[in-house]
Chain A
Amino acid sequence: MRYSPSFARSSGLIPTLVALAALALLPLVFDGNYLRHLLVLAFIFAIVASSWDLSLGYGGLFNFSHVALFAVGIYAYGLVAKTLGLSPWLGLVVAGGAAGLVAALITLPIMRLSGIYIILVTIAASQVLYQIVISQSQITGGTSGMVSLPGLELFGYRMSRDGKIGYYYLALAMLVASTILLYRITRSRWGRAIVAMRDHKYYAISRGMSETRTRLFTLTVSAAISGVAGGLYGSYMRVASPDNFGLGLLGLLLSMLLLGGAGTIWGPILAAFFVTIVSEALAEYGAWRNIIMSLLLIVILIFYPGGLWALLQTAREAFDVVRTQAIATLRRRSGKAAREALTGGQERIISTRHGRVAVADGGGNGPALLFIHGNSSAKEAFAEQFKAFRDRYRVISFDLPGHGVSDNADPEQDYSVEAFADVAEDVLQALGVTNPLVFGWSLGGYIAIELAARGYPIRALSVSGTPPLRVVPEDVGKAYDATSHFALASRRFLSPSEVRDFATSTTGPRDRATKHLHRAVMRTDGRARAYTLGKLQIVDWPRQMRFLRAAAVPFAILNGSKDPFLNHQYFRELKLTQWTGEPADVVGAGHAPFLTMPAAFNARLAAFLEAVEKGNSMSQTTDRPTIPE
């Protein structure tokens, strides 16, 4: 199942709450009536544009009658509130219902059409609505429209009083309500059906979804939301004009949708504010305003097709790179003593082909033992191994580029398994180490295998949480358990709760032993995750597998038996030649056995290393002994 966290756990929560608080407090700080008027319009247009996004962006249905349905809402409000003289609040409800009903009628002819034909029918339908309104002048006022519609009142308080403050909060509340509704729809069964219909209609139908029902639902719901917004607009402007059926308003709202980025809900809302305010700022230029707005729209569509939403993402990426680098720089200066205390080794900075990396060197004259950490972690993950093996080995570990206190690097060049193997080579060379024993954890395991497979002389190889792969991406699905937080491993941005989830899955709940690794996830350059895992396919996997099958170097897999990411059966089926002194899995340990169960893990690793020293690592092809759960 696709990973999709609830909104409260996503990284959109904090910015949304901040923006909402700012908008809610704005009228208390600023008293400008004009700004308030603009924002009310922006709120209403944001509702219309984002509800349009449900059908056009998510559904891929080019429903061009959406704006006419907004106008239907305006007229329905006018008819109920003025002509029939009923409660204006009832007018809002009827506006939504009328727009939904008309949308359902429009859906009938486009049930089996696609692409441009839907555009044509819906535009024709808008014209029919327009012509009906024009021709029924005794009811609708014809071309001059309906004027002086009654406004909304709440317990006798006229919403338009006190600088329209009532409308401001009402429109804001309705925007929030419609956004919550749309967001929930997109995440519901219906939402998935809408997207599936857009992406692969016939597959979706073959899986039992009804195109008719999905279309009817999409168009009716989005129109009903738009219709209520129309009712609000009618009560606010107190005019129902047939111009609202025209191409002018259609163009304005469509520009919001496309400028914001279709298929995002948030983009159109953002663009509604942008377009409304820019359009009003140009109000005094008359005909030139329309020209400038249209030019702006064309230029943005040509040079920035993703729209404002993509611009926001770019800004966020740039900010995240600066943030992670700043953390790295800061920690490199201030936390060195604490890190050295953890490992007992000396920290130094080494320049490699892929930027400057931080290395912890335990020193001593023993054989070198290199530890390579995994995705979004840091060299201090191996603190317990530094302590346990320092007497017999020269324990070395380093922070991968973009991790720990190493510098961020160029994502294209420096964030891949192969580049990380280059870094390992450079570190070993700078330290003057030859023929090391190498242990790699998770992503670090692939780096270790890559280092060995490309012919770099090493004495022994051990990995943990690293299923050797034959074909990518096919084997990834077999070797990993998709129900874990594995999906987070390649995500560029992690929200605070995702950081917690990921760190907990990889290293365990936050406590004294793991807290620095939880912090390491926060620091990691998101591009390192996205690029490294994105580029997994270009690693020479067959070469790694040939190397492992050749069994020229002693090899051991030391997994935790409760590793949430792994499909343990996959290891058994690989039938690799490896050290089999005893069941190598650390019973009860998770993804990081060396961290959570250091004593048991160190004993296993020590046994393997001892076998290597004695030259009887007992390499033989064997079924991996199974661990009773």
Chain B
Amino acid sequence: MTFDTLTLILLGGVVLGALYALMATGLALVWTTLGIFNFAHGTFIALGAYIAWQVASPEALGGGLLVGALVSVVGMFFIGMAVYYLLIKPFERSADIVVKSVITTLAGATILENLISIAWGPRNKQLSAVLTGDLQFFGLVMSRNEAAAVIVSLVILAALGIFLQRAPLGRAMRAVAQNREAAQLMGIDVVRLYAVAFGLSAALAAIAGVLIGSIRFMNPLMGSDPLMKALIVVIFGGIARFTGPIYAAFIVGLLEAFMTYAVGLYWSPTVLFAIMIVVLVVKPEGLFGKHRKSV
């Protein structure tokens, strides 16, 4: 393995890790607060990308990438809230909400996926790059676009971290995640908070979608593979801490990059999933988890 290959793998892993971190954090946000797993998260990624494309692309409205991304993030926030009220809220008091939310979010994903396919067609599209050209530092070469993706991801995650640590709404969210009944007794409107958590998660998915759409191609099914990766990441990192999935995302990103090199494109997902199963068996609370949050 030459130095160039190594850096290539490392940088590729970092970019993947940044994207996975965004997606996994969104997924973990819903999981920690609501205790359910949102299978529509992958479709949120696709829908966010397509909304941004609709606003930004010169073939459509031509508003530019920044406006497109903004519209997409705000739009997805409200779509996420709507999805919560339509698909999760009705089963809030149901004993088998975990399995029911699996089926309703799967159904919701099917609906959105097919709507995307009806509205925009099944063919691949691409968002324009955030930045063009290459970046050189310490002898490493990286496209500016990918560097921008990494930086945007990290900034967004840092902002989210501060929001959860400091902002009243963010603290309320953590409170509900820790003890729903106690939080409710303190006067927190749990239902509204759940909706906000879902909206935030969808907004994060939209950002991830925009970044993926500008680095790779987009199609109605673009979210299903990232969803599976985000699932691995969340399990790797555990959800006990906000930062768990972020560390895990970079580990998984790097692992995947190395593995693709070492065992080939086809085998690397198998190995990843196998590692995930091992982690779940040995340490169900995740590599960075302290205690287990069981639902």
Chain A contact residues, CB within 8 Å of chain B: 56, 62, 64, 108-109, 112-117, 119-121, 123-125, 127-128, 131-132, 134-135, 247-248, 250-251, 254-255, 258, 262, 287-288, 290-291, 293-295, 297-298, 301-302, 305
- B231 contacts A302, C-beta separation under 8 Å: no
- A114 contacts B104, C-beta separation under 8 Å: no
When C-beta atoms are compared, the residue in chain A nearest to B277 turns out to be A109
6 cross-chain CB contacts under 8 A: A109-B277, A113-B280, A117-B284, A247-B109, A251-B106, A291-B111
> A62-B98, A62-B99, A298-B107 are contacts. A120–B270 as well, Cβ < 8 Å?
no
Say whether B261 faces chain A, with CB atoms less than 8 Å apart: no
- B36 contacts A251, C-beta separation under 8 Å: no
DSSP class of A's interface residues: helix, strand, loop or mixed? helix
- B266 contacts A134, C-beta separation under 8 Å: yes
When C-beta atoms are compared, the residue in chain A nearest to B234 turns out to be A120
Contact partner of A124 among B36, B106, B114, B273, CB < 8 A?
B273
Cα-based distance from A132 to B274 in the complex (angstroms): 11
- A120 contacts B37, C-beta separation under 8 Å: yes
Chain B residues with CB below 8 A from A293, complex form: 110
When C-beta atoms are compared, the residue in chain A nearest to B117 turns out to be A287
- A301 contacts B91, C-beta separation under 8 Å: yes
When C-beta atoms are compared, the residue in chain B nearest to A115 turns out to be B295
Cα-based distance from A298 to B109 in the complex (angstroms): 12
Chain B residues with CB below 8 A from A56, complex form: 99
Number of A-B contacts (CB under 8 A): 122
When C-beta atoms are compared, the residue in chain B nearest to A287 turns out to be B114
- A251 contacts B273, C-beta separation under 8 Å: no
Cα-based distance from A108 to B100 in the complex (angstroms): 25
- B103 contacts A254, C-beta separation under 8 Å: yes
Q: How many residues of B contact A (CB 8 A)?
A: 48
Say whether B108 faces chain A, with CB atoms less than 8 Å apart: yes
Chain A residues with CB below 8 A from B64, complex form: none
Cα-based distance from A344 to B281 in the complex (angstroms): 78
Cα-based distance from A302 to B228 in the complex (angstroms): 27
Q: Which of A108, A255, A288, A302 has the most CB of B within 10 A?
A: A302
- A123 contacts B114, C-beta separation under 8 Å: no
Chain B residues with CB below 8 A from A250, complex form: 106
Nearest Cβ in chain A — how far from B245, in angstroms?
13
Chain A residues with CB below 8 A from B103, complex form: 251, 254-255, 258, 297, 301
- B102 contacts A254, C-beta separation under 8 Å: yes
Cα-based distance from A64 to B105 in the complex (angstroms): 14
- B277 contacts A254, C-beta separation under 8 Å: no
> A62-B99, A120-B37 are contacts. A298–B277 as well, Cβ < 8 Å?
no
When C-beta atoms are compared, the residue in chain B nearest to A263 turns out to be B96
Contact partner of A132 among B99, B270, B280, CB < 8 A?
B270
- A290 contacts B284, C-beta separation under 8 Å: no
* Complex interface residues of chain B between 243 and 295 (CB less than 8 A to chain A): 264, 266-267, 269-270, 273-274, 276-278, 280-281, 284, 294-295
Chain B residues with CB below 8 A from A305, complex form: 91, 94
Besides A62-B102, A125-B273, 6 other A-B contacts (C-beta < 8 A): A124-B276, A127-B273, A247-B109, A248-B110, A288-B118, A291-B115
- A258 contacts B100, C-beta separation under 8 Å: yes
Q: Interface code B10-53, partner A: CB below 8 Å = 1, 0 otherwise?
A: 00000000000000000000010001110100000000000000
> A254-B106, A290-B114, A298-B86 are contacts. A115–B231 as well, Cβ < 8 Å?
no
Chain B residues with CB below 8 A from A109, complex form: 277-278, 280-281
Say whether B69 faces chain A, with CB atoms less than 8 Å apart: no
Cα-based distance from A131 to B228 in the complex (angstroms): 12
Cα-based distance from A529 to B169 in the complex (angstroms): 53
- A131 contacts B270, C-beta separation under 8 Å: yes
Nearest Cβ in chain B — how far from A111, in angstroms?
8
> A62-B98, A119-B102, A247-B39 are contacts. A114–B107 as well, Cβ < 8 Å?
no
> A115-B295, A131-B269, A254-B103 are contacts. A121–B111 as well, Cβ < 8 Å?
no
Contact partner of A125 among B99, B111, B114, B277, CB < 8 A?
B277
- B90 contacts A302, C-beta separation under 8 Å: yes
Top-5 shortest CB links A-B: A135-B266, A294-B107, A287-B114, A131-B270, A302-B90
Chain A residues with CB below 8 A from B126, complex form: none
When C-beta atoms are compared, the residue in chain B nearest to A113 turns out to be B284
Q: Which of B99, B269, B270, B281 has the most CB of A within 10 A?
A: B99
> A131-B269, A297-B103 are contacts. A120–B108 as well, Cβ < 8 Å?
no
When C-beta atoms are compared, the residue in chain A nearest to B270 turns out to be A131
Contact partner of B231 among A108, A113, A120, A297, CB < 8 A?
A120
Chain B residues with CB below 8 A from A288, complex form: 114, 118
Chain B residues with CB below 8 A from A248, complex form: 110
> A116-B295, A135-B267 are contacts. A124–B110 as well, Cβ < 8 Å?
no
Q: Which of A134, A262, A298 has the most CB of B within 10 A?
A: A298
- A116 contacts B35, C-beta separation under 8 Å: yes
